Structure 1
């Protein structure tokens, strides 16, 4: 093992220049982001918002609404992991909105 050098310098010395070129070539498609069709978005008062943001807001609203409903009905007192329960319910609601509203 080489001593006195950082791990990244050791890694660079182990890779040949051709290997670095191949890594860069194969990593390029992973860094492409959104394609020509654009990101899914909608217009609210002239500004474009991504669809996931709407789904997230609805998920948070559903989780808060269910918390209020569970508090009123007394279900909240028997829940052992309240945080995980409400986060899971919010995520489920957000994913259902995504699937129904924007899915295939």
Structure 2
């Protein structure tokens, strides 16, 4: 009974860790290491936002934008979410 009392303070922490599993973690293998999928989707979103900026500058549309930062961040987030939806499903 005394052993149970000494382990009782650890019970809340152990219960919080009970849901932490990697059984269905969305990750992919890249050169032998597992990376989270959100990192890939975020990187693709950043690259698409940078590409859109270069395209808008080349077309002369960048000067017409009043909220450039908001526009490019929105394009990047939208692209990242679209990659997530297409590649990993809903």
Following TM superposition, the consecutive aligned residue runs of length 4 or more in structure 1 with deviations greater than 3 angstroms are 31-36
Tell me the TM-score normalised to structure 1 length: 0.67
**TM-score, normalising length from structure 2?**
0.76
Label 1:39 to 1:61 Cα distance change in 2 as closer, same or farther (>3 A).
same
Quote the RMSD (CA, aligned, Å).
1.8
Aligned equivalent of 2:27 = 41
- State the distance in 1 between where 2:65 and 2:18 align: 44
Report the CA distance between 1:36 and its aligned residue. 5.3
Corresponding residue pairs, total: 77
- For structure 1, the residue ranges without an aligned partner over 5 or more in a row are 1-23
In the alignment, structure 2 segments of 5+ residues that lack a partner are 1-11
Give the drift of 1:103: 1.5
* Alignment correspondent of 2:40: 54
| Residue aligning to 1:82 | 68
Instruction: Give the greater-gyration-radius structure (CA).
Output: 1
Identify the range of structure 1 (82-91 vs 38-47) with the bigger mean alpha-carbon deviation.
Answer: 38-47
Which structure has more RCO (C-alpha within 8 Å, separation ≥ 6)?
A: 2
- The structural deviation recorded for 1:39 is 1.5
Counterpart of 1:52 in 2: which secondary structure?
Answer: helix
